[in-house]
């Protein structure tokens, strides 16, 4: 027997604020697919973004090496961004603060101010929207732009990229690097090739000459683990990756190998996806690095409750439920474990996610070392309107009551703040 769970939860998403160019469709979000034969894609990357914004507000930092870093007190003591001067000393993003200071003893450390970064990101996007509404964010400081249909109004992709670069510098006081290409992967690669304040074109005619000599880890999708696997195959450059038979990469890396082969050969056909076309989330998770190491199950349970409340709130906003719970554990030596468990029925209740997370945790963790951070993630999401099989071990009336209760808590917190209602276990 199937059961449809529909607790009447509504959400609203604001429409994209489009400019007044005649080629925009203001009434609905078109899902028109551009021809992949003649596309012009830009990738705009705000240079040293956090550090650049901070230096705008601190004239006393001119000429000094600067790094925006997470809080040491909250155990996020890493470099989030650095300016060009600090970069010249070898300071790198994600480096521990003490490591950065060894390379640059006079490094000026500044805490992050995310409200400023969000505002500058929004203003940069307003500049992009003068040229196209086909914009896909890739983090707070990067966007892809499909300007294929804008060329009749504004000229070539390279011309538009340079105009955008000039406007961002003049109006915002920060710089961007832009890549211009015929697909998203090479557009991003182009924006990374020359920094700061530059435009790089990777065309169908020159990408082999410009991109193939680069290291394999410079192309999208090649992280540390994949780079290590590629080295084992004798693949060190993007050109090596492109020339390796597709079946060899597939045998070594599975589906990801085939994707990388296409990327290296300029065969990425993925579209620039606007906000209103974004697919629903596949997973929703939260993690927390704690101010002190967690030393017992009670500590972990409290953190799981706090994280699960945030996850279930997002599930309700997305009209989704979790089919599987996954947890992440990082110990005091920064070793990471991930474990997951499938649920007997989909849910978005805080207590179920928390206690399932604790069940997984106690089954896999032996407390040989304290825990530095934990995370909890809802996976295998299903829509709230989908049918699923009933089981005999659940009180469905009580579950619906709990669902209504958590929705009411969302409403109260939305009106009076997150501290309006707090679980006793978190006090």
Q: Enumerate the active-site residues.
A: 142
CA distances from 177 to 72, 159, 216 (A): 31, 14, 21
Pure H helices in 194-342: 207-211, 224-232, 238-243, 246-253, 255-264, 297-317
Calpha distance 171→37 (Å, rounded): 34
Quote the tokens at residue 169: 């510098």
Maximum Cα interatomic distance, the chain, rounded to a whole number of Å: 70
Q: Is 91 exposed, middle or buried (0-12, 13-18, 19+ CB in 10 A)?
A: buried
> Residue 291, SS3?
strand
Classify residue 111 by its DSSP letter. Answer: -
Classify residue 319 by its DSSP letter. Answer: T
CA distances from 244 to 34, 210, 259, 384 (A): 30, 18, 13, 45
Q: What number of residues does the chain have?
A: 427
């Amino acid at each position: 027997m199937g059961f449809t769970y529909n607790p009447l939860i509504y959400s609203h998403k604001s429409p994209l604020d489009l400019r007044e160019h005649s080629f925009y469709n203001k009434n609905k979000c078109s899902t028109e697919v551009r021809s992949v034969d003649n596309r012009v894609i830009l990738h705009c990357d705000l240079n040293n973004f956090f550090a650049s914004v901070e230096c705008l507000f601190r004239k006393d930092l001119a000429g000094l090496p600067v790094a925006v870093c997470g809080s040491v007190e909250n155990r996020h003591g890493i470099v989030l961004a650095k300016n060009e001067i600090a970069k010249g000393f070898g300071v790198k993003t994600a480096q521990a603060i003490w490591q950065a200071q060894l390379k640059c003893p006079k490094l000026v450390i500044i805490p992050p101010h995310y409200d400023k970064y969000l505002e500058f990101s929004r203003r940069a996007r307003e500049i992009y929207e003068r040229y196209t509404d086909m914009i896909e964010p890739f983090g707070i400081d990067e966007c892809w732009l499909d300007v294929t249909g804008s060329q009749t109004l504004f000229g070539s992709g390279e011309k538009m990229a340079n105009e955008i670069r000039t406007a961002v510098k003049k109006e915002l006081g920060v710089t961007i690097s832009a890549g211009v290409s015929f697909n998203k992967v090479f557009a991003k690669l182009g924006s990374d090739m020359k920094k700061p304040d530059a435009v790089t074109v990777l065309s169908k005619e020159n990408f082999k000459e410009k991109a193939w000599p680069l290291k394999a880890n410079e192309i999208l999708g090649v992280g540390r683990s994949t780079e290590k696997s590629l080295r084992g195959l004798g693949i060190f450059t993007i050109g090596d990756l492109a020339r390796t038979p597709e079946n060899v990469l597939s045998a070594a890396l599975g589906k990801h190998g085939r994707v990388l082969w296409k990327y290296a050969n300029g065969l990425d056909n993925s579209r620039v996806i606007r906000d209103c076309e974004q697919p629903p989330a596949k997973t929703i998770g939260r993690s927390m690095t704690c101010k002190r190491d967690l030393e017992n199950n009670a500590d972990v349970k409290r953190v799981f409750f706090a994280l699960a409340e945030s996850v279930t709130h997002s599930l309700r906003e997305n009209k989704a439920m979790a089919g599987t719970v996954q947890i992440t554990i990082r110990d005091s030596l920064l070793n990471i474990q991930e474990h997951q468990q499938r649920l007997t029925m989909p849910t978005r209740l805080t207590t179920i996610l928390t206690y399932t997370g604790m069940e997984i945790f106690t089954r896999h963790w032996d407390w040989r070392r304290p825990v530095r951070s934990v995370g909890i993630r809802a996976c295998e999401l299903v829509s709230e309107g989908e049918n699923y099989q009933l089981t005999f071990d659940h009180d469905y009336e009580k579950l619906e009551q709990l669902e209504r209760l958590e929705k009411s808590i969302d409403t109260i917190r939305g009106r009076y703040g997150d501290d309006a209602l707090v679980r006793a276990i978190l006090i």
